[in-house]
Amino acid sequence: MPDKSKPVRTVDLKVMKGAGEKIVALTAYDALFAALVDESGVDVILVGDSVNTVLCGEATTLSATLDQMIYHGRIVRKGVRRALLTIDMPYLSYQVSIEDAKRNCGRVLKETGAEAVKVEGGRSVAPTVNALVEIGIPVMGHVGFTPQSVHAMGGHRVQGRAVGAKERIVEDAKALEQAGAFSVVLELMPSDVAQSVTEAIDIPTIGIGSGPSCDGQVLVLHDMLGLNDRFSAKFLKRYADLAGSVRSAVKAYEEDVRAGRYPDVSHAYE
């Protein structure tokens, strides 16, 4: 088990992989939930660009902006003391040029206080990852289903099933490792593909919808809490029904107010 009294560093994740200890990651988008998640002892907190769909109601992550990610990164930072804080780089903030990527990722680290950034893509983004690592920016990779390419991929589809696709994903992950990424998210792929990737590289794999062989797991907090009950997927395990709790609490409040039961004397000042 990692030392719960010390902040988690990028190097600790590799040590955990070596020791066969699972890495626990979750998303957070604000200080309140970030503090709850951090206090629970997770290793990595990711400010995912999924904030754009989960909290902001957009259909995809594509319209997330750099300012939006910096805003959420800053408020999440206030709640995180121990976990490794990683911020998703939004679409077009790192794909256009290496110069752009350095400036934007650097801005994210400077303005949020996070320890790392995450970028999507494999071999195509490896030179950028290398350039970022060379100026001291820790990078988490992300291969398999990459939400910023949802249209190119024809929707939310499991990746790695086509002939040669498994080998391509393995090559993508190896390229990220060689470029200096400290870990890589594996999203939506068959368990055997994720296992091959995990065995092929020394940096940890963090899976979402990619089976049990990954070195760690990540889920979107609002999905696993059952707060965002508009989203469901085979891979998702709901650990609570917060949407149900919110609906019944609001209903009870409504009924109390309409019936004149709230506030009663115990909630009123003299």
Residue 249: CB minimum distance to ligand KIV, A: 27
x/- site string to ligand KIV, residues 205 to 224, per CB under 6 A? ---x---------x-x----
Q: Which residue is nearest to ligand KIV (CB)?
A: 48
d(CA 179, CA 143) in angstroms, rounded, equals 14
Residue 13 token pair: 């994740």
In angstroms, what is the minimal distance from the CB of 184 to ligand KIV?
Answer: 11
Residues in region 185-204 near ligand KIV by CB under 6 A:
185
The two most distant CA atoms of the chain are separated, in Å, by 75
- Non-local (6+) Cβ contacts of 184 within 8 A are 140, 141, 142, 143, 173, 176, 177, 197, 201, 203, 204, 205, 206
Terminal C-alpha separation, the chain = 53
* 177 in active site: no
Residue 148 CB, nearest approach to ligand KIV (Å): 9
The residue among 201 and 206 lying less far from ligand KIV, judged by its C-beta, is 206
Total number of residues binding ligand KIV (CB under 6 A)?
10
Q: Which two tokens stand for residue 95?
A: 């794909």
Contact between 117 and 84 under an 8 Å Cβ cutoff? The reply is no
For ligand KIV, the closer CB: 27 or 112: 27
Return residues touching ligand KIV (CB under 6 A).
27, 46, 48-50, 88, 185, 208, 218, 220
